[in-house]
Amino acid sequence: MPSLLFSFLLEINSYPLLKVMYVFVTLLGILLVCTLAFTIYKRKIDSNKKLWEPDAALLISTAIFYNANDTEYKDAILKNEKLLQKAVFRQYLINEIIIARKDISGSSTLNLKNFYEQLKLNQDSFKKLHNRKWHIKTKGIQELAIMEQNNYQKEIFELANYSNEYVRNEAQCSLVNFYGFQGLEFLNDITYPISEWQQIQLLNKLNSVKPQNFEIIKKWLHSKNEFVVIFALKLAVFYNHYELYDDVVNCLSYKNLQIKLNAVNYLKLNPRENTAALFITDYSFDNKIYKLAILDALKDIGNETEITFLLKQLHNADNDIKIAAAKGLACLHPLGITFFHTHLFADENPWKSIFLQIENDRAA
């Protein structure tokens, strides 16, 4: 039999098609074996989890109601002493503690935190921060943040400027969770971009209590990282802080569209006497979205002084600019929308359609 197989294998060399089939079948066999091995491994983990469920439930539920005289908790720990030395069980326990932590509030959360620390599960979470895989690093940060492990702040702070975006985002959110506004200190050193979504997440985590010191936002408004400048502008709007006006005006000089738009947004909400004039001066920036933002802002903060400028825009080649200018005139012109009927081109398109649309919108 072996000699037959050997001679068969020798023959394969002389038939290219057979060779390909042989390789294909071998690869398929390896794939099947790997799939089978992985399935068996997963099933083993799942069956372990089923076995561990009552033990984990007992440990966590007794920990939640721990008091010094409670023997139930000590008995539960003793009963599971061997299991608590297994890394896989410890990770399973951490996962269940995190789920429980999200569901409970009040003094029980402190008991759960003490339980987590007493079993040194925080060290298991901390070890993950040094893992090469980004998803494990992120999990470690999440676990430490949810379990309020403030003493690992330094290590998490370093990860706020990590190369992987998910790790960075998780670290940044954790710092803000721990320390509120003070947790944003990572903005001093960050060199990577901060996505729009991440900025929203960070703003959502900041409570409405104002920081005592706005000097740090001024510093961020002058950051070399343009994403930090954008976020600082959003903070300026978020806290509605009037004293940042001059620094925000300075942001109009950037070429970055998002910075300019966010600066216009702040100035629109915190206008001074010269704000409209500033907008008109900066109107020459060659971007339609920016021009529309300025025209929209002038509608809210402008006065009769801006009418001449708006009348000029009514003759811009772009109809969207015409519409925005017309809306501004409807608000600022002493005649209001009746001004449209006096306009030189009131009966010509596109002005006729534009004026009619604005009148209808106003009536609605």
Partner 1 sequence: MTILVAEDEIIMLKTIELRLKKDGHNVIICQDGREAVKKIEELSPDLVITDMMMPFLSGLEIIGAVKRQVRKKIPIIVLSAMGQENIVLEAFQLGADDYITKPFSPNELSMRVKRYSPQMLNAQL
- Contact window for partner 1 (CB under 8 A) among 35-43, 104-112, 237-245, 344-352: 104-112
- Contact window for partner 1 (CB under 8 A) among 57-65, 217-225, 227-235, 327-335: 57-65
* Residues 176 and 205: beta-carbon distance below 8 Å: yes
Q: Which two tokens stand for residue 75?
A: 């008995």
Q: Which is nearer to partner 1, 69 or 308 (CB)?
A: 69
47 binds partner 1 (CB under 8 A): no
219, 224, 271, 341 from 159: Cα distances, Å: 22, 20, 38, 62
d(CA 312, CA 306): 10
Q: Tell me, by CB under 8 A, how many residues bind partner 1.
A: 20
Q: Which is nearer to partner 1, 107 or 207 (CB)?
A: 107
b/e 226-264 (16+ beta carbons within 10 angstroms → b)? bbbbbbbbbbbbebebeebbebbbebbebeeeebbbbbb
Residue 120 backbone zone (phi > 0: left; psi -120 to 50: alpha; other: beta): left
60 binds partner 1 (CB under 8 A): yes
Of 18, 29, 30, 53, which one interacts with partner 1 (CB under 8 A)? 53
Q: How far is CA 90 from the centre of its chain?
A: 30
108 binds partner 1 (CB under 8 A): yes
Of 96, 155, 226, 296, which one interacts with partner 1 (CB under 8 A)? 96
Of 56, 121, 237, 329, which one interacts with partner 1 (CB under 8 A)? 56
44 binds partner 1 (CB under 8 A): no
d(CA 139, CA 170): 9
Of 58, 77, 269, 321, which one interacts with partner 1 (CB under 8 A)? 58
62 binds partner 1 (CB under 8 A): yes
- Contact window for partner 1 (CB under 8 A) among 97-105, 147-155, 193-201, 235-243: 97-105
d(CA 245, CA 270): 8
Q: How far is CA 32 from the centre of its chain?
A: 40
For the bound state, the minimum distance from the C-beta of residue 157 to partner 1, rounded and expressed in Å, comes to 27
Q: Which is nearer to partner 1, 100 or 159 (CB)?
A: 100
334 binds partner 1 (CB under 8 A): no
2 binds partner 1 (CB under 8 A): no
For the bound state, the minimum distance from the C-beta of residue 148 to partner 1, rounded and expressed in Å, comes to 14
* Residues 103 and 146: beta-carbon distance below 8 Å: no
For the bound state, the minimum distance from the C-beta of residue 106 to partner 1, rounded and expressed in Å, comes to 3
For the bound state, the minimum distance from the C-beta of residue 101 to partner 1, rounded and expressed in Å, comes to 8
Query: Residue 359 class from Cβ within 10 Å (0-12 exposed, 13-18 middle, 19+ buried)?
Result: middle
d(CA 21, CA 89): 44
Q: Which is nearer to partner 1, 98 or 269 (CB)?
A: 98
* Residues 153 and 176: beta-carbon distance below 8 Å: no
Of 61, 118, 195, 353, which one interacts with partner 1 (CB under 8 A)? 61
102 binds partner 1 (CB under 8 A): yes
Q: Which residues bind partner 1 (CB under 8 A)?
A: 53-54, 56-58, 60-62, 64-65, 96, 99-100, 102-108
